Structure 1
Amino acid sequence: MDDRRFQVRNGQGTYARSHTGRATTGIDANAMKVLRNTYSLLAMTLLFSAVMAGVSMSIGLGQGASLICSLGALGLIWLVLPRTANSSAGIAVVFAFTGLLGLGLGPLLNHYLALSNGGAIIMQALGGTAVVFMTLSAYVLTTKKDFSFMGGMLMAGLVVVLVAALGSLVAGMFGVDVAAFSLAISAAIVLLMSGFILFDTSRIINGGETNYIMATTALYLDIYNLFVSLLHILGALNDD
């Protein structure tokens, strides 16, 4: 679902930063309102996504259905969300999008739960995701630093990762062992999503993102991809 970055990361908007490069010392009322709405909607969508993942796991959703859910989520975020982000309908779209991603996550979670220490791996990935997100978010909110300068680098890194992932998929289809390469891609995604958390949070508090629905979508994707990548890395480190 990283493809959404090509639309979310448009680099538009103004940032509260002086010509000397110092971050501003406070968050204005409008930015604070967007931040509160974003975190409230983000918490609800994460919970809803977790519930849908549980449903997917309980009914034993297959890989084919999981792929359809992921493609459906991609269609929503590309074709529907941009048209509804400024209305209440956008909230329903975000819930549908995160619900589909939650459903699509079920087969992967079931795969790990079938392993002897799969439950521990999932909990470690969840804990690691929470620690990274809360730590980086707290850093931005405390320092009020502007990380807008990272936008170009993050987009370039994302393009490289997407091309590498596609190449890995093609190579795997021809019988090439890409396990180590896939692990390196997951590590790169962890670094990229950490940077995007800094970038997205900074955009909110400095006025670069004024739509809390779009802000929620961006942060949700950061968390989702961070969790999945950590899950892959921890699974590999545990020889699973």
Structure 2
Amino acid sequence: MLESNPYASPYTVAAQPADARATFIRKTYAHLGGAIAAFAILEYFFLQSEAMLSLVAPLMGNWWLVLIAFMGVSWIANKWALSSTSKGMQYAGLGLYVVAEAIIFIPILYLAMAITGSATLIAQAGIITAALFLGITAIAFVTKKDFSFLNSFLMVGGFIALGLIFASMIFGFQLGIIFCGAMALFASVAILRDTSNIIHHYGTDQYVAASLGLFASVALLFWYVIQILLSLASSD
């Protein structure tokens, strides 16, 4: 649930010539593809590493600490990615966020493999996430509407979701598949908003920050699609 500030540059994409807009969009999605590829490679090696699994295992019973740490890392990564003075700092922010996401995902991916005995469920979640992402992206580019009005909904929804997550960890209740479905919808709306910002609001030099914001929303959707599939698999 990473929030970015796509309004930092006065030279927004929408105000630029068609070739500049096209270049910005290509760079953004190329960086998104690179972030996803890096995430997948890191997960492959992390899941093969006994040392990494041993390091992450104790955190599974202290998810509130993980969540707080992740929120802090997300804030730092986003701040770096929005740097207007250093391209290296922007890439450092994107890299930091990808690594943080890869570490956060280790337990749930390990659980998915343990339950199914293979990576089938993970592959299914990846396909579903990709299909939803492509559909939402098509809506944003075909309609060309400005969906920045969704910011308020996402902000309020994000606080409610965090409150429920913390409450579940404190009082020990399960949020269940309905919550996961609602969060998958939340992530889908975030992708729509982020894609709209790519079309309308980012500056042409902010493609790293744009890719980070979109990667964060895609990762959130992937997380809850896995949760839904795990719930369905467990109920069989």
For the criterion TM > 0.5, the same-fold answer is: yes
| Equivalence for 1:190 | 184
1:70-129 residue CA offsets vs partner (Å, 9 max, x unmatched): 766544432354245332211133123202321332232111111236533212111110
Q: Name the structure with the higher helix share.
A: 2
Q: What CA distance in whole angstroms lies between the structure 2 residues aligned with 1:213 and 1:44? A: 11
Tell me which amino acid in the other structure corresponds to 1:221: A
Q: Cα–Cα, structure 1 residues 156 and 10, in superposed 2: closer, same or farther, change >3 Å? A: farther
- Which sections of structure 2, spanning at least 5 residues, go unmatched? none
Q: Cα–Cα, structure 1 residues 88 and 166, in superposed 2: closer, same or farther, change >3 Å? A: same
1:225 is aligned to 2:224? no
Q: Cα–Cα, structure 1 residues 30 and 81, in superposed 2: closer, same or farther, change >3 Å? A: same
Alignment of 1:1-240 (within 5 A): 2=1, 4-5=2-3, 8=4, 28-60=18-50, 61=53, 62-64=56-58, 74-79=71-76, 81-83=78-80, 85-86=83-84, 87-89=86-88, 90-116=90-116, 119-172=119-172, 178-179=173-174, 181-206=175-200, 208-210=201-203, 211-239=206-234
Q: What CA distance in whole angstroms lies between the structure 1 residues aligned with 2:39 and 2:68? A: 16
Q: CA deviation at 1:42?
A: 0.6
Q: CA deviation at 1:224?
A: 0.6
Q: Cα–Cα, structure 1 residues 150 and 93, in superposed 2: closer, same or farther, change >3 Å? A: closer
Match of 1:216, SS?
helix
**TM-score (norm. length: structure 1):** 0.80
Q: CA deviation at 1:155?
A: 1.4
Tell me which amino acid in the other structure corresponds to 1:42: L
Q: Cα–Cα, structure 1 residues 205 and 168, in superposed 2: closer, same or farther, change >3 Å? A: same
Query: Pairwise CA RMSD of aligned residues?
Result: 2.8
Q: What CA distance in whole angstroms lies between the structure 2 residues aligned with 1:126 and 1:183? A: 18
Q: Cα–Cα, structure 1 residues 239 and 40, in superposed 2: closer, same or farther, change >3 Å? A: same
1:22-61 residue CA offsets vs partner (Å, 9 max, x unmatched): xxxx984443332111101110011001111111100132
Q: CA deviation at 1:161?
A: 0.9
Greater shift in the superposed pair: 195-204 or 64-73: 64-73
Q: What CA distance in whole angstroms lies between the structure 2 residues aligned with 1:228 and 1:88? A: 29
1:124-179 residue CA offsets vs partner (Å, 9 max, x unmatched): 1111100000111012112212212211112111111111111111111xxxxx33
Structure 1 runs of 4+ off > 4 angstroms?
Answer: 9-16, 65-74
Q: What CA distance in whole angstroms lies between the structure 2 residues aligned with 1:110 and 1:169? A: 21
Tell me which amino acid in the other structure corresponds to 1:137: T
- Which sections of structure 1, spanning at least 5 residues, go unmatched? 17-25, 173-177
Identity of counterpart residues, as a percentage? 24
